[in-house]
A = this chain, B = another copy of it.
């Protein structure tokens, strides 16, 4: 049962829910929505979320404590994530921009230190809200 893809039962249920959602989902929203499928307690949700984040299938929007499915090819197992967040309607889009990714991935600070991962969150108004 677990061989066809690399997700376990709970991971698949939770990924499917996040993946079909048009907006970021919070852990307890997820919990309420999967209780009918037998996932009853917070640790089951958080464990699946942790794994999905680790494998890059989803990302956490840190400023919202919410999760979205990865829609980008350039984030490469979550080493380089960028999002646009609407301050009015809460919409979140993953930004896939090769130049931006390259610029930030190769960024080094004044001491010459390079970083192995970054997360960038842009805030503003989306098209609908402008």
Give the interface of A toward B (CB within 8 A).
62-63, 84, 95, 97, 100, 103-104, 107, 109-111, 113-124, 126-127
B115 & A63 in contact (Cβ 8 Å cutoff) = no
Q: Which residues of B contact A100 (CB under 8 A)?
A: 107
Please report the C-alpha to C-alpha distance between residue A116 and residue B84 in the assembled complex, in whole angstroms: 11
Q: Which residues of B contact A109 (CB under 8 A)?
A: 84, 95, 97, 122
Oligomer copy total: 2
A115 & B62 in contact (Cβ 8 Å cutoff) = no
B123 & A120 in contact (Cβ 8 Å cutoff) = no
Known: A62-B63, A107-B100. A123 touches B113 (CB 8 A): no
Please report the C-alpha to C-alpha distance between residue A120 and residue B107 in the assembled complex, in whole angstroms: 12
